[in-house]
Chain A
């Protein structure tokens, strides 16, 4: 698809404030959305003297007095309760650092993980030493977002459905395509399992032979 523009084209008046497509107002960074006195600026906007100006290109959303601009394509920004699939990048003292294709890495604390075998018990010092035996760098894990702070995203994998992933296939798509739904775990009719994570990573697992429920989500592969 080739689009050619020679200078400003006729259909947009220069410096027109915004573009209305149906009922959604689409803005370009730098356009003034509103006056400061009427609204508060949320994500995607900033104050400039007396105006609220958009800082990303997207749709203007208004909730009561809060104005936000939602970009259609951006890095995944986690919400509390999102199901995500991540890859372990570092094993630290009492937690794992997980790459979840977001602005900062996710932190999965040892206390927030259910150990293999399905038991939920207080983690001892020995468990700390054995962290690497459960998950190490390069492993894939499915978890839920527990808390989002400015510089840290805390994850938890306490229930049986979360935890380290075994053999399967990972497909990466854009996070903006993943809508939030009631459940992100799906069982396909021919036996395969599907996890549609909110960070854009899709996990496809081959049909198992009944091992999953017995070990509580922990799988061990003998292949190197």
Chain B
């Protein structure tokens, strides 16, 4: 049975969003009290838990004695509709590590390590982007100095239209898509992960759409941090200088 093409007819996607609309963002901090920073992050139906430990003593010595960043990205076995063994993606973990390495102030704490663990408990597209957003929130929750708040979004071409914040049914293995990460919502990318083939004329439009969507996601993350900071302020003693 052929699905009615709402893309051409009404210029909306199958889940009711416009092409440039992001999904609902939901969050909860402090899930793991013994972790230095932890957050439960939802982007539509994609649910991610991120825990950050650090900076703490490290046995591993990096060059220049900088802080060692260790990222783990894993997809639970119950996360997607197809029953799979729990997967730990090395590639996504590396991308996450490189994104966060450029953002964390590594020289502030020499000879230490920061461990970031991301677990996708429900996957509905934009896995890497949701993990970057969650890790960004968890890092700020842990009080680790960062250059800014990282936001990420996954954009792709669906039925000929450039759509942002792809969900599970829109992410197809052969369709071109990019994961674009920016800092503080500015129009400068700090990480781009590009898959499959795209016409050169479309690339610029895709990146522009990615920047636009990132501004919106950044506004959500920023609001989340402000709410969390206000909550903490009520509980914690503010040091008198």
Query: Which residues of A are at the interface with B, using a C-beta cutoff of 8 A?
Result: 1-9, 12, 14-15, 19, 21, 24, 26, 28-30, 44, 46, 48, 53, 55-59, 61, 63, 70-75, 99, 103-105, 150-151, 172, 174, 176-179
Q: Distance in Å from the Cβ of B26 to the closest Cβ of chain A?
A: 5
Q: Is the CB of B224 within 8 A of A5?
A: yes
Instruction: Give the residue of A58, A104, A179 whose beta carbon is less than 8 angstroms from that of B112.
Output: A104
| Distance of A7 Cα from B21 Cα, bound (Å) | 9
In the complex, what residues of A have CB within 8 A of residue B36's CB? Answer: 74-75
Q: 26 A–B contact pairs at CB < 8 A?
A: A2-B26, A4-B24, A5-B25, A5-B224, A8-B216, A15-B185, A19-B226, A26-B226, A26-B229, A29-B148, A46-B147, A55-B105, A55-B147, A57-B140, A58-B229, A70-B238, A72-B233, A72-B236, A73-B37, A73-B142, A73-B232, A99-B57, A103-B109, A104-B57, A177-B236, A179-B237
Interchain CB contact (< 8 A) of A26 among B54, B109, B220, B233: B233
B147 & A29 in contact (Cβ 8 Å cutoff):
yes
Given contacts A19-B226, A30-B184, A72-B232, contact A56 B140 (CB under 8 A): yes
Q: Which of A14, A21, A30, A74 contacts B230 (CB 8 A)?
A: A21
Partner of A73, one of B34, B141, B227: B141
Q: Mark B3-29, 1 if CB is under 8 A from A, else 0.
A: 000000000000000000010111110
Cβ of B53 to closest chain A Cβ, rounded Å: 10
Task: A69 to B109: give the CA distance in the assembly, Å.
Answer: 17
